[in-house]
């Protein structure tokens, strides 16, 4: 099954059968079948569509949690059923040089790209951390970073909450060569993958990858990025909003389009001003929100 990933949904023992049935109705990947392994529901998705499938399942699980079922979308994970070397070989079929904004190009470690003048090249290896950074929600943030840089923004400190592979932190480091970036994630695999990708891109001196909870991060930042699920953005709203410096910018993504306005309103209630909601031109199901602290 080298061309597939497993999406794992932990559930309480009493709810696991119901969760499996609901997922089969709610999520396209689950309609082809699910497997119950103890207190986990397992769904399979094609590797080529794995990022979108994981996001879809997490959104469904968030709705189940709000309805009172014993599930937590933050525990939903994707994993290969393969050794890392075979997993990377499988990725090679689907992950190629990709231009995600007019200037930003993502280059997987197994391909070569001759950078044109003015291009920002990000060398990325998904490793075992899952994901290539080309999902619509990530593209929305990269597009906003490119726009901010093009308009002359010059943050000297950037905070990336839920950094994953580190693609946003690396993009920030390359767009703003004097900025220091803190990339945080609660997944140790993601922290390790971020550090590896940061090293590959030669920005280790300016990008720190850590498992520090956002509530424990010191100080405020001129630019804060958070590309994570809506329920997490709601749960962390106090902590994330508090890390936006006066005059600073907050970019929220990972939002299904119907969720975007309501989540942005929660940050407005914490003293930020909504600048714009962006619907993804790649996939209208996803949106981002840009806010400022005046």
Residue pLDDT, tens place only, 189-224: 789 889 999 999 999 999 999 999 999 999 999 999
Q: Beta partners for 107?
A: 123
Instruction: Give the C-alpha separation, 209 to 195, whole Å.
Output: 6
The closest alpha carbon to 275, from 252, 243, 246, belongs to 252
Query: In this predicted structure, what is the pLDDT of residue 190?
Result: 84
Pick the CATH number of 98-292 from 3.30.565.10, 3.40.50.150, 1.10.3720.10, 3.40.50.1860: 3.40.50.150
Q: Beta partners for 78?
A: 7
Each domain of the chain, given as residue ranges in start order, spans 4-84, 98-292
Residues in the chain: 294
Query: In this predicted structure, what is the pLDDT of residue 1?
Result: 45
Are the beta carbons of 112 and 98 closer than 8 angstroms? no
Are the beta carbons of 171 and 122 closer than 8 angstroms? yes
Domain 4-84, second-level architecture = 2-Layer Sandwich (3.30)
At residue 100's C-alpha, the angle toward residues 278 and 203, to 5°, is: 110
Question: Using the 8-state DSSP alphabet, how is residue 115 labeled?
Answer: P
Instruction: Give the C-alpha separation, 200 to 223, whole Å.
Output: 24
User: What's the predicted TM-score (pTM) here?
Assistant: 0.76
Helix (H) / strand (E) element for 268: namely: helix 257-268
Query: In this predicted structure, what is the pLDDT of residue 282?
Result: 84
| Residue 65 phi, psi dihedral angles, 5° rounding | -65, -40
pLDDT less than 70: residues of the chain = 1-2, 81-91, 94, 126-134
Helix (H) / strand (E) element for 90: namely: helix 84-91
């Amino acid at each position: 099954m080298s061309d597939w990933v497993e999406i794992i949904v932990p559930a309480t023992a009493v709810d696991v059968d119901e969760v499996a049935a609901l997922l089969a109705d709610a999520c396209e990947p689950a309609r082809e079948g699910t497997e119950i392994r103890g207190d986990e529901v397992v769904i399979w998705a094609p590797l080529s569509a794995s990022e979108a499938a994981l996001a879809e399942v997490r959104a469904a699980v968030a709705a189940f949690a709000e309805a009172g079922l014993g599930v937590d979308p933050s525990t939903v994970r994707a994993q290969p059923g393969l050794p890392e070397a075979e997993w990377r070989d499988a990725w090679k079929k689907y992950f190629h040089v990709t231009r995600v904004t007019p200037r930003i190009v993502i280059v997987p470690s197994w391909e070569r790209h001759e950078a044109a003048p003015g291009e920002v090249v990000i060398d990325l290896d998904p490793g075992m951390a899952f994901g290539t950074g080309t999902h619509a929600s990530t593209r929305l943030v990269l597009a906003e970073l490119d726009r901010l840089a093009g308009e002359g923004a010059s943050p000297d400190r950037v905070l990336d909450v839920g950094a994953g592979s580190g693609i946003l932190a690396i993009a920030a480091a390359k767009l703003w060569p004097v900025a220091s970036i803190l990339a945080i994630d609660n997944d140790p695999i993601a922290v390790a993958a971020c550090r590896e990708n940061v090293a590959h891109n030669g920005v280790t001196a300016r990008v720190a990858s850590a498992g520090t909870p956002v509530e424990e991060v010191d100080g405020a930042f001129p630019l804060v990025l958070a590309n994570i699920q809506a329920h997490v953005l709601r749960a962390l709203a106090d902590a994330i909003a508090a890390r936006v410096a006066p005059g600073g910018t907050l970019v929220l993504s990972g939002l299904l389009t119907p969720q975007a306005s309501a989540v942005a309103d929660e940050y407005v209630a914490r003293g930020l001003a909504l600048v714009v909601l962006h619907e993804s031109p790649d996939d209208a199901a996803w949106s981002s929100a840009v806010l400022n602290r005046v």
